Amino acid sequence: MKNIEKTEKKVKKIQKIDDSNFNFKKSLGQNFLFDTNLLKAIVSDGEVTKDDLVIEIGAGAGSLTRQLSIVAKKVISFEVDKSLIPTLNDLAGERKNIEFHFSDFMECDIDNLFEGKAKIVANIPYYITTPIVFKLLDHIEKFDSILLLVQKEVAVRFASKCDSKDYGITSVILQSIFDVSIPRIVKKECFTPQPKVDSALCKLRPHNRYNIKNFEGFKKFVHLAFSMRRKTFVNNLKTEYSKEIIYSILDELGYSQMVRPEQIGVDNFIKIFNILEKIDKNH
């Protein structure tokens, strides 16, 4: 009987964050998930196995952390809200394969955080989605896969193809090194407190089909190409490259001289960049 009471107290303590009196911090973009079936589905979408090290960004109430720890070999979880320390430490005491870092993930040294490779599974704050993604982008060799719960419109932008209004800088850069997919839509009603918009799971799986040698240069090239969406591809690039050369490349690839950047697919973005890189090196 004592053991049962002890367990019930521990569960209540860990779940106390779900109380309506909890002071959710809007400044930290706190929107928590408590539906166990949904949390298990997210872990499944992340393809987490007993051999995996999983990095979680934003532990929140620890609900997803718990489900990850049940399946994964180890979970390293980051949380900046110090008021959550008692709750999360209780969880760490119960689940020995969880390591909490009460610090900002954006300031961590990924290269020295763990050895080998890891998977990312995280419900991240909306306001910091892009900085997190680009930090992970700089350490792509450290991750087998990345699964992020983000605003639906952001996930759509990440995964969109050319000729779509959502296709842009981030779409091209991410898809040049990741296979991007949206395995699940998560309705706003699933969160506490409820946000104004729906969310989506966005999966990023690294690939090396393009083998881009100068990735920093490519990112700058893409930014320049989309610098003014109402302008043509050529007019956006003419400050750095010869119009005649770009016209020649576009003609070779079957594009009109008036083509806009959102009409050019990732494959051809990379082809154009590689050709221009070779020309620059030869001059």
Give per-residue pLDDT as tens, 104-113: 999 999 999 9
Task: Provide the pLDDT for residue 156.
Answer: 97
CATH no. for residue 167? 3.40.50.150
Structure confidence by residue, pLDDT tens digits, 102-147? 999 999 999 999 999 999 999 988 888 999 999 999 999 999 999 9
66 and 138 together in one domain: yes
183 and 95 together in one domain: yes
Indicate the average pLDDT of the chain: 89
Cα gap 205→183, rounded to integer Å:
12
Task: Provide the pLDDT confidence category of residue 30 given band limits of 50, 70 and 90.
Answer: low
134 and 221 together in one domain: no
In this structure, are residues 272 and 249 in contact, taking their beta carbons and an 8 Å threshold? Answer: yes
DSSP state of 106: G
112 and 163 together in one domain: yes
> pTM of this prediction?
0.87
In this structure, are residues 68 and 40 in contact, taking their beta carbons and an 8 Å threshold? Answer: no
119 and 170 together in one domain: yes
The pLDDT of residue 280 is above 80:
no
The pLDDT of residue 72 is above 90:
yes
197 and 224 together in one domain: no
User: Domain range spanning residue 239?
Assistant: 215-281
3-state helix, strand, coil in the chain (%, to 5): 50, 20, 35
Task: Provide the pLDDT for residue 282.
Answer: 58
Among residues 206, 234, 249, the one where a domain terminates is 206
Structure confidence by residue, pLDDT tens digits, 134-184? 999 999 999 999 999 999 999 999 999 999 999 999 999 999 999 999 999
Structure confidence by residue, pLDDT tens digits, 188-207? 999 888 888 999 999 999 99
Looking at residue 67, its amino acid is Q
Task: Provide the pLDDT for residue 126.
Answer: 83
108 and 87 together in one domain: yes
Structural domain total, the chain: 2
The pLDDT of residue 11 is above 90:
no
35 and 119 together in one domain: yes
